[in-house]
Amino acid sequence: MPDPHTLFLRLEGPLQAWGDTNKFVIRRTMEAPTKSGVLGLIACAMGVTRGEVRECYAELNSLCMGVRIDRPGILWWDYHTVGARTGVLKAEGGVKRNAKTKEPETLITRREYLADASFLVALRGDKALIDETVNAMHAPKWSLFLGRKSCPPSVPPLVLRSLGEGRFEPHVEHGVSLVEALKRIPWQPRFKNLQSDKPPKELACILEWRPTEAEPEAPDAAEVWYDVPVAYTGVAPVHQPRFVTRCQLTLGKDVASGDPLFTSVPRPSRPRADYTSTEWKKRRGERLRNDHGLCVFCKQPATTVQHISYRHAGGNEDTDKELASLCRLCHDTCTMLEYGLGMTLDRIDPTDPKWRDRIIEKRTEIREFRSVEGRRRTLARAPGTDKPPLQRLDDEED
C-alpha cells in the first residue's frame, strides 16, 4: 500500500456486545470489538443491503484493524428469549415442545455484555476506501449499534480533530503504522462528579497482524480470532480467521492524556438571542404591530416572535425578513420541525408556501397528541374519588 490512511472510531456506550462465534444458549462477548462487529457498523453507516453485503465485506476486509482498550468495562449479562410461539428447531429436526403442554417451547438464552467500556478503533487502508468510510460514518444511513442492536453508542463514533473556533474535521493519519496511529489519539478521561477518572498506567492494544516481507510468519504469541466476516448466507454469518497480536502503551509516554472537558461533538454555532435586550424588545414589538398581533400562519392571537434566521440574532435582526409573529401552537410546530430537520442558523419561514403542508400536518399531530394527553389525564383520576376531572389546559390556541 503506497500511502495508507488511518481513521479512528470511538466505541463507547452503556452496553456493547462483540459476540464470539458460538451460537449456543450462552452467548459471550469478546473483550474488545471484533472485526465483523466493526465492519457491520460501517456497513450500516453505508446503508449496505443484505444483497450487497458480500461484496461490501470483501472490500472492507482489506482494512487492517487495531483496537486500544481505553476502558475495559465490566462483564454483565441479561437473558433473551428465542422462539416464542414459533418454537426452536432441534438439531435432529422438528420443533422443541414442552413435555406437558406440547406447546412450542420458548428458549431462554443468556447474553453477555461489556458495560461502560470505551474502545479506540483504528482502521488502516487505502485512501479511497478510508475516505468512503469517513463519509459514511460522518452521516450514517442507518442507526449504528455496538455489536448488538440493543447497544446504541453514546457518542458519535467517528473521531474528529479540532481546527479551532468550534470547527472540526475527521481525524485521519497518513502513512503511519497501526500502533503509531493508536498513539496519536489522547486517552480521554471522563469528567463526572466534578472529578476526572483515575488514569490507568497502561493501555492494552489488540493489533491485526498481516504478513510482510520482513515478517512472513506470524509470531508465536499471535492469537487467532475467528471474526473476519465473509458472507451472510441468511442462516448464519460465516467467519474466517485472522491473526492478532497484543501490546501495551504507556499513558503519559506513548499516549497523551486528554482534557476531561474536551468534546469532539461539534455543536451548531448560532448567536444566542438575548431576549432581555432593549433592542430585541423594540424589534419584537415592531414585528407584532406589523402582524396586527396575529399569528402569520393561522391568524390566532400571536404569543411569540419567532426567528426565521438567527444570522443577526441578539438585537440586529431584520424585522421584515428574519422575524415572524406566531401563536404558541404554530411556534411549537415550527420548532419541532426545525429540530427534526437539524436546522441551525436558517429556520422555517411560516409564510413560505413550501412549508405549508408540513406545518399543517405537524400541527394536527401536536393537537391530536395534546387532546389525547388531556383525556388520559382526565381518565387517570382514581375511581371513587369525587374530585372534579382535571382541567384541560392544552388547547388554548384553537
Shortest reach from residue 367's CB to Zn ion, in Å: 11
**Comparison of 160 and 323: residue with beta carbon closer to Zn ion:** 323
Query: According to CB under 5 A, which one of 32, 117, 206, 330 is a site residue for Zn ion?
Result: 330
Nearer of residues 61 and 325 to Zn ion, judged by Cβ: 325
- Minimum distance between the CB of residue 228 and Zn ion, rounded to whole angstroms? 57
**Closest to Zn ion by CB, 123 or 330:** 330
Give whichever of 148 and 328 is closer to Zn ion, judged by the CB atom. Answer: 328
Rule CB under 5 A: say whether 295 interacts with Zn ion.
yes
Pick the closer one to Zn ion by CB: 353 or 388: 353
Site for Zn ion in 200-219 (CB under 5 A): none
CB of 300 to Zn ion, least distance (A): 5
Q: Which of 297, 313, 334, 347 touches Zn ion by CB under 5 A?
A: 297
Nearer to Zn ion, 29 or 304 (CB): 304
Question: Binding to Zn ion by residue 298, rule CB under 5 A?
Answer: yes
Work out how close the CB of 310 gets to Zn ion at its nearest, in angstroms, rounded to a whole number: 21
The span of 16-24, 179-187, 189-197, 325-333 binding Zn ion (CB under 5 A) equals 325-333
Number of residues that bind Zn ion (CB under 5 A): 6
Instruction: Count CA atoms within 13 Å of residue 379 on its CB side.
Output: 6
Binding segment (CB under 5 A) for Zn ion, from list 90-98, 142-150, 256-264, 327-335: 327-335
Tell me the closest approach of the beta carbon of residue 6 to Zn ion, in angstroms.
Answer: 52
Return the residue of 327, 337, 348, 359 that touches Zn ion, per CB under 5 A: 327
Q: Which 3-state string (H, E, C) describes the chain?
A: CCCCEEEEEEEECCEECCECCCCCCEECECCCCCHHHHHHHHHHHHCCCHHHHHHHHHHHCCCEEEEEEEECCEEEEEEEEECCCCCCECCCCCECECCCCCCECCEEEEEEEEECCEEEEEEEECHHHHHHHHHHHHCCCCCCCCCCCCCCCCCCCECEEEEECCEEEECEEECCCHHHHHHCCCECCCEECCEECCCCCEEEEEEEECCCCCCCCCCCCCEEEEEEEEEECCCCEEEEEEEEEEEEEEECCCECECCCCCCCCCCCCCCCCCCCCHHHHHHHHHHHHHCCCECCCCCCECCEEEECECCCCCCCCCCCCCEEEECHHHHHHHHHHHHHHCCCCECCCCCCHHHHHHHHHHHHHHHHHHHHHHHHHHHCCCCCCCCCCCCCCCCCCC
| Pick 188 or 333: Cβ nearer Zn ion | 333
Stretch that binds Zn ion, among 18-26, 69-77, 329-337, 383-391 (CB under 5 A): 329-337
Of 148-156, 330-338, 365-373, 378-386: span binding Zn ion (CB under 5 A): 330-338
Site for Zn ion, rule CB under 5 A: 295, 297-298, 300, 327, 330
